């Protein structure tokens, strides 16, 4: 029983670390895109920066907040899906419109 509890804690810790690394790397890429926007004044780069930030850090923050509030896992998945769809729509806007 103790071994199962320890394994669960380790898996949750690994999941949290991987989510955190994904958010940090995503924010770095979004920062590079934002710097491109500032340098060239391209609204496409700004939209790309926002989309990448939503896809990485936005999902991370949404899931962490939903977990902290203590909502059901189905609501966490819904929030994660909505933030992902919004981020993808913003990236699509950056690539298509303009």
Q: pLDDT tens digit string along 17-56?
A: 888 999 999 999 999 999 999 999 999 999 999 999 999 9
What are the extents of the domains in the chain? 2-96
* pLDDT given for residue 6 in this prediction: 54
For tokens 């913003």, name the residue.
90
The CA distance from 75 to 91, in Å, is 24
pTM over 0.85: no
Distance CA 19, CA 11 (A): 12
């Amino acid at each position: 029983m103790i071994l199962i509890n320890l394994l669960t804690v380790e898996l949750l810790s690994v999941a949290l670390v991987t989510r955190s690394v994904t958010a940090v790397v995503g924010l770095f890429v979004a920062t590079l895109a934002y710097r491109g926007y500032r340098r060239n004044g391209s609204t496409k780069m700004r939209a790309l920066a926002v989309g990448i930030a939503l896809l990485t850090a936005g999902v991370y923050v949404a899931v962490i907040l939903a977990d902290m509030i203590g909502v059901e896992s189905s609501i966490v998945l819904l929030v994660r899906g909505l933030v992902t769809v919004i981020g993808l729509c913003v990236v699509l806007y950056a690539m298509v419109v303009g």
